[in-house]
Structure 1
């Protein structure tokens, strides 16, 4: 059984047609261009394929081994507790190749799953339902959204919510994505229990990314890439920009079960399925709106 939580949200939604093979922009109607653009699926984080090739992934293997050595030598700006948690994953010698392999397989699953669920029995394609975030675009100019097949009103009245999941949830249930909920784009109160139950089952059944204890969750992987870059500059005695030393760990973390707010390097103290992340600029607002309590370590400034 999943633990009870006290964090809920009720976002709005809308529908958009499938883009299919259309060009980047279609100006059939002068004031209504149809634009093809990337969508960052909310609340999920699949393994990264930024290495691009197996050979470059092997280079990251070596970078992470080097980072592990720097951490053990006390040269990396990371807390002892988080270092202890991450070192076994960094020292496998395959952290980069494992991430790339998992990312490639996750991408293949996502493509096949979306095509399969959008196709109707008559081979026509459903429209796509899209529910955007309160702040619709990320820093990389991607649309932030939950996406799913668009069902008719009749279907919505007869098909249970759990049997018409978003594509985001499909990734969680299949074990190809870690929960990555970032305030304020929290799943709605009806969706959250389904989301958490799917995540719990994927973890318990050790599906896909959860089946290898050496897996770095995608947000951990990105943080370690950034930490390697920062530590390399420290080791080489190159100047750092103001704040760059700790720029690799950006988000605070809330335990959704207790509303406890943890510092950026203490996220690992919360089980992965119950982590709610906050950007620093949102902490004050979230503390008030969600009635959060700082952890003892955060309150002490440890």
Structure 2
């Protein structure tokens, strides 16, 4: 973490109680990116993705992507508005998150509830963010009057309102009582076309980030004439269909309904296959 003279270290009230500020990456969800920074930045992404689509069409051998994935991706990036759509959705998702937190952290009498934070077994990601589920900290008396759905985490709220795509990654899988609730909320949001699901050209944020990396690699190869150290570094995770336990390769996740995608880092695949009793797809083992 950053330390002194930054926003991370807020103050030291006494010698053993520093107050710190740090980012939390909410587990099992992925909201649209606002990394473009502005509408103008989003329009530059529009241009980059449209250029990538042109390269895929005109120079398919020079872009390190399978034909199947290209056919899936092209309708989304040929719109010329992929960056703008992502930025707009990300802004709306952030607006909802702020309003939702303010509403749910406020008691009927106007006083504020504390936060409940449940961290992952491995508490930090590679960017130093705390990995967690976050919710209002209801009292025992309050919890006895609320259903599991009513005392939901902010993570689940984002999925329920359609402002986050499910993004469950091994080993941080929701518990046996929470996962069905999570999947049902996602299913209802998609069926109703809420949030990001009202737009057919929506790219889940993990997909958007992959396409950004793919553009950078294609540009290096085609425009700069520089060989890429990892031409397939744009794709990161394997994927499992939660309903069938079938494991697919990094470019085949789109064969699985977005609600039921369970992602696995390459380093965790061998253990996950055994522990979760997974079956590799025919395509993954070279039979098609």
Interval containing the TM-score (normalised by the shorter chain): over 0.9
For the Cα contact (< 8 Å) 2:9–2:18, is it kept in 1? no
Q: CA deviation at 1:108?
A: 0.7
Q: CA deviation at 1:138?
A: 0.7
- 2-structure distance, mates of 1:299, 1:152: 51
RMSD (Å) for aligned C-alpha atoms: 1.3
Stretch of structure 1 that moved more, 66-75 or 92-101: 66-75
For the Cα contact (< 8 Å) 2:183–2:259, is it kept in 1? yes
Match of 1:270 in 2: 256
Match of 2:4 in 1: none
- 2-structure distance, mates of 1:42, 1:133: 8
- 1-structure distance, mates of 2:143, 2:248: 39
Match of 1:249 in 2: 235
Q: CA deviation at 1:34?
A: 2.1
Mapping 1:60-99, distance limit 5 Å: 60-72=45-57, 73-74=59-60, 75-99=62-86
Listed one character per residue, the Cα deviations across residues 108-134 of structure 1 (whole Å, up to 9, x for unaligned) are: 110110011001122221111111111
Indicate the structure whose relative CO is greater, using CA pairs within 8 Å and at least 6 residues apart. 1
Match of 2:3 in 1: none
1:284 aligns with 2:270: yes
Match of 1:48 in 2: 33
- 1-structure distance, mates of 2:271, 2:11: 40
Q: CA deviation at 1:68?
A: 0.5
> Which stretches in structure 1 are left out of the alignment for 5+ residues?
1-21
- Return the TM-score normalized by structure 1: 0.90
Match of 1:14 in 2: none
- 1-structure distance, mates of 2:145, 2:46: 50
- 1-structure distance, mates of 2:90, 2:176: 30
Mapping 1:1-302, distance limit 5 Å: 24-72=9-57, 73-74=59-60, 75-235=62-222, 236-241=224-229, 244-300=230-286
- 2-structure distance, mates of 1:88, 1:220: 14
- 2-structure distance, mates of 1:301, 1:138: 35
Q: CA deviation at 1:284?
A: 1.1
Q: CA deviation at 1:50?
A: 0.3
Q: CA deviation at 1:156?
A: 2.0
Q: CA deviation at 1:36?
A: 1.0
Runs of 4+ in 1 over 3 A off after TM superposition: none
- 2-structure distance, mates of 1:213, 1:48: 17
SS at match of 1:265: coil
Q: CA deviation at 1:155?
A: 2.0
> Which stretches in structure 2 are left out of the alignment for 5+ residues?
1-6
